[in-house]
Amino acid sequence: MIRTENLHKSFGDNHVLKGVSAEFHAGKPNLIIGSSGAGKTVLLKLLIGLFRPSEGAVFYGDTNLFSLDDKDIRSIRMKVGMLFQGNALFDSMTVGENIRFPMDMFTRLSLKDKNRRVDECLEMVNMEGINDRYPSEVSGGMQKRVGIARAMVLEPKYLFCDEPNSGLDPQTSILIDELICDLTNRNNITTVINTHDMNSVMGIGDNILLLKNGKVAWTGDKSQVLESDNKVLEDFIFASPFLRRLREDALKQRQGG
């Protein structure tokens, strides 16, 4: 489990996070949602330790990430996988080399074993046989899957996904969500997903944290979204008239049923 306590983060005069306390549980997807500028990415980067907080703490189990020195932070990061919004695949390496990179860096496995693990990871994301292709030679959705495969290669205990659905069509988005959800459940990983995709919220939102102006505006799960009377949540999730009508219909059906 990952826990934050009263997290504050400022950049000069810009106070981005204003006392965020939250818990992210193992074995189910934890979603951070909110409009642009709400502080989602900053929170995610604080959770990984890419930023240091102005105030507050991030706990991995009982260990405060920011009480550790650089070397110990790196040892925690070796248990972390991350899927970046832009995938961050090394474009001078093939897909196979990208996935093998963490193993090359941190394991003493033979090349044969490493390549076998690469094949396993590609199979896990249904991308067999693209080892020798370069990231620029595969589609955006395939790059996301390769990013997930690379994040999973060292069997992480924590998985962070920054906007995993950005730039993808709705069908591919759902496939990526299902894949992340499946890997999380199967490997009992603590997964934190930063998104503003409504399909993800309603599909895999087992623990949702809504941010507004750097503060936690609402927490709950997907089953509570429809009936919540939280104004911030309502304005964010059901922003379009179409979704608002769908919600009203769903609520009427429930009341009728």
Partner 1 sequence: MLIDTFLYNFGQYILLLKSAIAKPERFSMYYKETVRQMDAIGVGSVFIVLLISVFIGMVTAVQFADQLGDSFIPSYYIGYIVRDITIIEMAPTITCLVLAGKVGSNLAAEIGGMRQKEHIDAMEIMGVNTAAYLIMPKVIAAVLVIPLLVAISAFVSIIGGYLATVLPGSISHTEYVLGLRSFFVPRYVFIMFVKAGVFAFLLTSVSCYFGYYVKGGSIELGEASTSAVVVSNVLILLFDFIIALLLT
Under the criterion CB under 8 A, does residue 69 sit at the interface with partner 1?
Answer: no
243, 201 Cβ separation under 8 angstroms: no
Applying CB under 8 A, the span of 59-67, 71-79, 197-205, 224-232 interacting with partner 1 comes to 71-79
Nearest approach in angstroms of CB 61 to partner 1 is: 17
- Out of 52, 74, 116, 252, name the contact with partner 1 by CB under 8 A: 74
* Closest among 162, 159, 164, 193 to 176, alpha carbons compared: 164
Under the criterion CB under 8 A, does residue 140 sit at the interface with partner 1?
Answer: no
d(CA 245, CA 257): 18
Q: Would strands 2-11 and 55-60 be described as parallel, antiparallel, or unpaired?
A: antiparallel
- Out of 6, 37, 50, 123, name the contact with partner 1 by CB under 8 A: 50
Under the criterion CB under 8 A, does residue 70 sit at the interface with partner 1?
Answer: yes
Under the criterion CB under 8 A, does residue 136 sit at the interface with partner 1?
Answer: no
Which residues are within 8 A (CB) of 216 and not within 5 positions of it... i.e. 6 or more apart?
20, 21, 22, 209, 210
Nearer to partner 1, 78 or 250 (CB): 78
Paired with 10 in beta bridges are 15
d(CA 39, CA 16): 6
Nearer to partner 1, 90 or 252 (CB): 90
* Single-letter code of the amino acid located at 234: E
Nearer to partner 1, 146 or 233 (CB): 146
Nearer to partner 1, 160 or 236 (CB): 160
Under the criterion CB under 8 A, does residue 14 sit at the interface with partner 1?
Answer: no
d(CA 4, CA 20): 7
* Single-letter code of the amino acid located at 14: N
Under the criterion CB under 8 A, does residue 246 sit at the interface with partner 1?
Answer: no
- Out of 34, 102, 141, 214, name the contact with partner 1 by CB under 8 A: 102
Under the criterion CB under 8 A, does residue 88 sit at the interface with partner 1?
Answer: yes
* Closest among 22, 16, 29 to 160, alpha carbons compared: 29
Residues 184-213 binding partner 1 (CB under 8 A) are none
Under the criterion CB under 8 A, does residue 82 sit at the interface with partner 1?
Answer: yes
Residues 150-179 binding partner 1 (CB under 8 A) are 154, 160
DSSP string, 63-114: EEGGGS-HHHHHHHHTTEEEE-TT----TTS-HHHHHHHHHHHH----HHHH
- Out of 8, 84, 119, 166, name the contact with partner 1 by CB under 8 A: 84
Q: How far is CA 3 from CA 30, 96, 223, in A?
A: 12, 34, 23
Under the criterion CB under 8 A, does residue 86 sit at the interface with partner 1?
Answer: yes
Under the criterion CB under 8 A, does residue 80 sit at the interface with partner 1?
Answer: yes
Under the criterion CB under 8 A, does residue 51 sit at the interface with partner 1?
Answer: no
Would you tell me which residues interact with partner 1 (CB under 8 A)?
Answer: 48, 50, 70, 74-75, 77-78, 80-82, 84-86, 88, 90-91, 101-102, 104-106, 154, 160
